[in-house]
A and B are shown apart, each in its own frame.
Chain A
Amino acid sequence: MSTVSDAAYQAPGLVYETEHHHDHFSPQKSYMGFWIFMMSDLIIFGLFFATYGTMLGKPSIAGGPGPKEAFELSGAAWETVALLLSTFTFGLASLAMKYDMGKQKILTWMGVTLFLGLCFLGLELREFVTMFHEGHVPQRSGFLSAFFGLVPLHGLHVTSGSIWLIIMMIRIATGPIDELTKSRVARLALFWHFLDLIWVGIFSIVYLGGLA
């Protein structure tokens, strides 16, 4: 299509030139669609963050526990370690796929990623259970509502990412690694790193900011 400007002189308006068009699967569209989806999802997270920000004041805490009473750093720190490590191991899986290092290697790194993702979810769940036991429930105050709106939303995303990871592992284990599979794993990787980024925000603002 480099000749558009020249062709403008030859052809009036439109012309049916012969050119072979492939209507086959095009990863470009899917990547773009997925980036757009993440932008939209980011707005959702952004608004939950903003709501949380407005709910840090005294009126919203409503005499209940504030960040210092409700959170403890060590649990969140270990969650961070698990999730950051998992994003690294997903990177290794992506590399294994890119350089055709074989199914075994790809599946291993994806498995490690899944394990770390589940560790993260387990730790998060334990944290919530502890908070519930101490009476720090979302029904207690606007502040805790905002916390339980934001953080479990991220956890829900990680859960769906893990399910997607399992589906892709089954697909890789049972079928060929074709263009479609590769592009799907690439999109899943984007998603996983995206969730990591969100968590960095949550850890910095909710936990470090709250406990500082």
Chain B
Amino acid sequence: MNSDHTSALFGRMDLESLDFLKVFLHPFDTNLLILSGAAWVVILGGIFVVAVMTYMKWWKPLFLDWLISVDHKKIGVMYIVLAFIMLLRGVIEGVVMRAQQADGLHGGFLSADHYAQLFSTHGTIMIFFMLMPFLTGLMNVAVPLQIGARDVSFPMLNSVSLGLTIGGAVLVMVSLVLGEFTTGGWTAYPPYTGSAFQPGVGPDYWIWSVTLSGIGATLTGMNFVVTIYKERAPGMTFFRMPMFTWTALCTAILMVFAMPPLTVASAMLLLDRYADFHFFTNDLGGNMMNYANLFWLFGHPEVYILVLPAFGVFSEVTATFSGKRLYGYGSLVVATMAIAVLSFTVWLHHFFTMGQDSNVNAAFGIATMLIGIPTGVKIYDWMATMYRGRVRFTVAMLWTINFMVLFVLGGLSGIILANPSIDFQTHNTLFLVAHFHNVLIPGVFFGMMAGYNYWFPKLFGFRLNDFWGYVSVWGWTIGFMLVFFPLYVVGLEGMTRRTVSYTDPAYLPWMLLSGLGAIIVTIGLIGIVMQLYVSIRDKEKTLDIGGDPWDARTLEWATPSPVPAYNFPVIPHIHAREAFAVAKEAGAGYQQPTKYTDIHLPGNTWMGVVMMVFGTGFAFAMIWYMWWLAILCLAIVVVSFVGRAIRGDRHPHIVKAADIEREHNAWLEKVRTITPVNREQELKQANLGVAAPEYMEAAQ
């Protein structure tokens, strides 16, 4: 791609930018075959989806029931669907990279440039478009229900955040078909990502996709801080909030304060690239260290943005599936807050080797090690929760237990890396790659999967299939160990990260082992897909009508499954921590409210769709220098938002008290007729979502 040629209509796009044509121009080049193949997968996948949607007449429901909805539960589901789609691509890229390195002694089948694009998109996707949407989705699904709220504080803003996140993901997908992605890694360090070294569209794709989703995440953070502060039900004091809500609060605060540095870093990089500024260039006074600092001021808190909600899920899951009150609630809250604060004090450990004084390194190394303390507290609390509990090894619980074992190992390798003098030996090797995958996969991804298995029945009214669930857990667990533990070894042997090939045959056995692991991870991935398919097919066998299939403890389980749009018929008053467990113990889990009132719900809005379509259009046009399209899209976005601000919500939705009463009574009637089940039958068809008071004495 060359930047000196631009047309008024298509900007700098030309025939060479169309990746899917390359296979016809160079039919015998494996590397280009894969490149074009990927483009064709996206195109054919797109055509297939459009065809299915049209055939099933799903377009109307997609827009009218989902995309314009402001219901936090639906928005949460859409985030998670996005996360799964991007997970597919991210894992496939990971597998291709493992295959390349297994084949990579003196060569391999990928070009260095293509390999660099792969690890750049893999990282960008997994962080920004898989884990972030996943945790945001779980927060959307669970937090308002856990605190007894009708919705988040700013429902339209929530929809706009979703639109921005989808927009960023769309850009990454488009980069497969049109042009290329950056080769500068997910951190996009300049000056390599500056226009002197990469004049093409690659880094611009990166800049715009992370900027869109980063702004979306900032807005989500603001929304959830206000929601958790202002929307709690009467009596839901801070120290009665479920742990997941606590972790969501800390994550939201981190999003508010840690996403702006990313916006600043990418904005400055953008000015460097588009307007020849000299923030990070090699010449005329640019200083790339500013970028390193800005990026990791975001990047390190980001790690805790990702992991804290997962910790919240683990807290809920261990308590529920051990049939015991969560051990050490207070210490878990303090530990969460401590991690959130400390996360801002360690960013420099990402570049120990980049020239600062060793005293500075020592200070940041010690701060880094300190984070191990609150994290360790959490692990002990979860173990103490399980101790003498009656632990049920459900799919969600297995994700959790496997997390506990593997995450401790990842944490320990983190402590090793936190020592600057050791870091000098291991930085930029596969040891580091093994470390962060070891915390992100068992730490965050396992947590997301545990939450997905745990809350799924709440949203859809049926449980997920167990067999394929177990396949996914063990596929991921064993596969993960096989892929990444060898990387620790070759990392210590000096194999650098981000290398397409190597010359030392000593690495080869480990790379083959790692490649084998990639196959097993793929089985885990297939397990996830099959689990969803089989669960939908056989949903009659796992129905959850009563809304409490796990004999769970927090407020969200006191509602019917699937949850009605208004969440609670009457906002409950909370009188205890783990209120639902306490109420069930007293035989008051399912109460008849004495009086109902009308409920006002915010109306649906097209603002999220406008942001998604025209925000993406604007970014796309900026990437390709199609200035007319950029101006047009920006104008549409601005006019729409100003119009909305002036006119307000014109379609608020009122649910009549009588309707609520009727629906709620019908559900209560069902709950009375369902036979409550004990925990031996938890995974059986007989479990219709009403729990027998079995070992409630443990709640004391």
Q: Which of the 9-residue segments B317-325, B411-419, B575-583 touches chain A? A: B575-583
Contact, CB under 8 Å: A32 / B230: yes
B231: which A residues are within 8 A, CB to CB? 29
By the criterion CB–CB under 8 Å, are A43 and B572 in contact? no
The complex places the Cα of A139 from the Cα of B272 at a distance, in Å, of 9
Q: A17 on the interface (CB 8 Å rule)?
A: yes
A173 contacts partner chain B, Cβ-Cβ < 8 Å: no
Main secondary structure, interface of A, reads helix
Would you call A77 an interface residue if the criterion is a C-beta within 8 Å of the partner chain's C-beta atoms? no
Q: Does A11 contact B (CB under 8 A)?
A: yes
B284 touching A47 by the CB < 8 A rule?
no
| A60 interface residue (CB < 8 Å to B) | yes
Q: How far is the CB of B375 from chain A (nearest CB, A)?
A: 25
Q: B235 contacts which of A4, A64, A146 (Cβ < 8 Å)?
A: A4
In the assembled complex, the CB of B213 is this many whole angstroms from the nearest CB of chain A, namely 16
A47 to B276, CA, bound (A): 20
Q: Which of B543-599 contact A (CB under 8 A)?
A: 555, 558, 569-576, 578-586, 588, 591-595, 597, 599
Q: In the assembled complex, which residues on chain B have CB atoms less than 8 Å from the CB atom of A12?
A: 575-576, 582-583, 585-586, 588
Q: Can you name 6 A-B pairs with beta carbons within 8 Å? A: A15-B583, A16-B592, A32-B225, A59-B287, A138-B277, A142-B285
Q: Is B25 an interface residue (CB 8 A)?
A: no
The distance in angstroms between the C-alpha atoms of A184 and B584, with both chains bound, is: 44
Instruction: Give A199 Cβ to nearest chain B Cβ, in Å.
Output: 19
B226:A36 contact, CB within 8 angstroms: yes
Q: B438 to chain A: which residues have CB within 8 Å? A: none
Chain B residue with the shortest CB-CB distance to A32: B226
Docked CA distance A19–B283 (Å): 67
Q: Are A47 and B294 in contact (CB under 8 A)?
A: yes
Check: B218 CB closer than 8 A to any chain A CB: yes
A167 touching B581 by the CB < 8 A rule? Answer: no
Please name the residue on chain B nearest to A59 by beta carbon. B285
CB closest chain-A residue, reference B256: A40
Instruction: Check A24/B600 contact, CB under 8 A, given A13-B575, A33-B222, A149-B277.
Output: yes
Given A33-B226, A142-B284, A149-B277, A15-B588 contact (CB < 8 Å)? yes
- Asked if A37 CB lies within 8 Å of chain B CBs, one says yes
Chain A residue nearest in CB terms to B566: A23
* Chain A residues within 8 Å of B283, by CB: 62
Contact residues, B614-659 vs A (CB, 8 A):
642, 645-646, 648
Chain B: minimal CB distance from A14 (Å): 4
Flag the segment in B109-117, B257-265, B525-533 that touches A: B257-265
- The answer to whether A28 and B575 touch across the interface, beta carbons within 8 angstroms, is no
Chain A residue contacts of B276, Cβ below 8 A: 138-139
Q: Which of B276-300 contact A (CB under 8 A)?
A: 276-279, 281, 283-287, 290, 294, 297
Max chain B C-beta neighbours (<10 A), residue from A13, A19, A32, A180: A13
User: What residue of chain B has the Cβ atom nearest to residue A61's Cβ?
Assistant: B285
The 4 closest A-B pairs by CB, nearest first: A142-B285, A13-B583, A12-B586, A13-B582
- Contact between chains at A29 and B230 (CB < 8 Å): yes
Judging by beta carbons under 8 Å apart, are B218 and A13 in contact? no
Docked-complex contact B573 and A138, CB < 8 angstroms? no
**Would B591 and A15 count as touching, CB distance under 8 A?**
yes
Bound-complex Cα distance A143 to B286 (A): 8
CB distance from A89 to the nearest CB of B (A): 23
Q: Which residues of A contact B586 (CB under 8 A)?
A: 12-13
Known interface pairs A138-B271, A145-B285; 15 further A-B residue pairs with C-beta atoms within 8 A, sorted by A's residue number = A4-B575, A12-B576, A12-B583, A13-B578, A16-B573, A29-B226, A32-B230, A39-B256, A40-B218, A51-B279, A139-B284, A141-B278, A145-B272, A149-B268, A170-B646
Q: How far is the CB of B563 from chain A (nearest CB, A)?
A: 16
Distance, CA A142 to CA B277, complexed state (A):
7
Interface contact B570-A18, CB-CB below 8 Å: yes
Which B residues form the contact surface with A (CB < 8 A)?
A: 150, 153-154, 218, 221-223, 225-226, 229-231, 234-235, 237, 256-257, 259-261, 263-264, 267-268, 271-272, 275-279, 281, 283-287, 290, 294, 297, 555, 558, 569-576, 578-586, 588, 591-595, 597, 599-601, 642, 645-646, 648
Mark interface residues in A36-48 (1 if CB within 8 Å of B CB, else 0): 1101110110011
Mask for A157-175, Cβ within 8 A of B = 1, else 0? 0000001000100110000
In the complex, A104→B230 CA distance in Å? Answer: 36
The reply to whether the CB of A130 lies closer than 8 angstroms to some CB of chain B is no
Query: Is the Cβ of A145 less than 8 Å from the Cβ of B290?
Result: no
Cβ–Cβ contact B264 & A44, under 8 A:
yes
Q: A14-B574, A16-B570, A19-B234 are in contact. Are A180 and B648 (CB under 8 A)?
A: yes
Taking CB atoms, residues of chain B closer than 8 Å to A167 are 642, 645-646
In whole angstroms, what is the CA distance A94 to B658 when docked?
Answer: 43
Judge whether B290 and A149 touch: CB under 8 Å. no
A14 cross-chain contacts in B, Cβ below 8 A: 235, 555, 558, 572-576, 579-580, 582-583
CA distance A13 to B583 in the complex (A): 5
Chain B residues contacting A60 (CB-CB under 8 Å) are 285-287
Residue of B297, B580, B642 near A13 (CB, 8 A) is B580
Closest approach, in angstroms, between the C-beta of A81 and any C-beta of chain B?
A: 30
Kindly report which residue of chain B lies nearest to residue A36, judged by CB atoms: B222
Q: How distant is A80 from chain B, measured CB to nearest CB, in Å?
A: 25
Does B226 contact A7, Cβ atoms closer than 8 Å?
no
* Residues in B whose Cβ lies below 8 Å from that of A21: 571, 597
Q: Are B588 and A54 in contact (CB under 8 A)?
A: no
Minimum CB–CB distance from B581 to chain A (whole Å) comes to 7
CB pair A11–B573 under 8 Å, yes or no, is yes
Do B230 and A28 touch (CB < 8 A)? yes
A211 sits at the interface (CB 8 A): no
Q: A43-B257, A44-B263, A142-B279 are in contact. Are A13 and B579 (CB under 8 A)?
A: yes
A144 to B277 Cα, complex, angstroms: 9
Cβ of A207 within 8 Å of any chain B Cβ, yes or no, is no
User: Which residues on A sit within 8 Å (CB–CB) of B150?
Assistant: 23
Query: Chain A residues near B153 (CB, 8 Å)?
Result: 29, 33
Q: Quick one: given A47-B261, A60-B285, are A138 and B226 in contact (CB under 8 Å)?
A: no
- Inter-chain contact A40/B573, CB cutoff 8 Å: no
Q: Are B277 and A139 in contact, with the CB atoms below 8 A?
A: yes
Chain B residues with CB under 8 Å of A144's CB are: 278
Q: How far is the CA of A11 from the CA of B583 in the complex (A)?
A: 8
Q: Among B261, B555, B595, point to the contact of A18 (Cβ < 8 A).
A: B595
Given contacts A14-B580, A145-B278, contact A23 B599 (CB under 8 A): yes
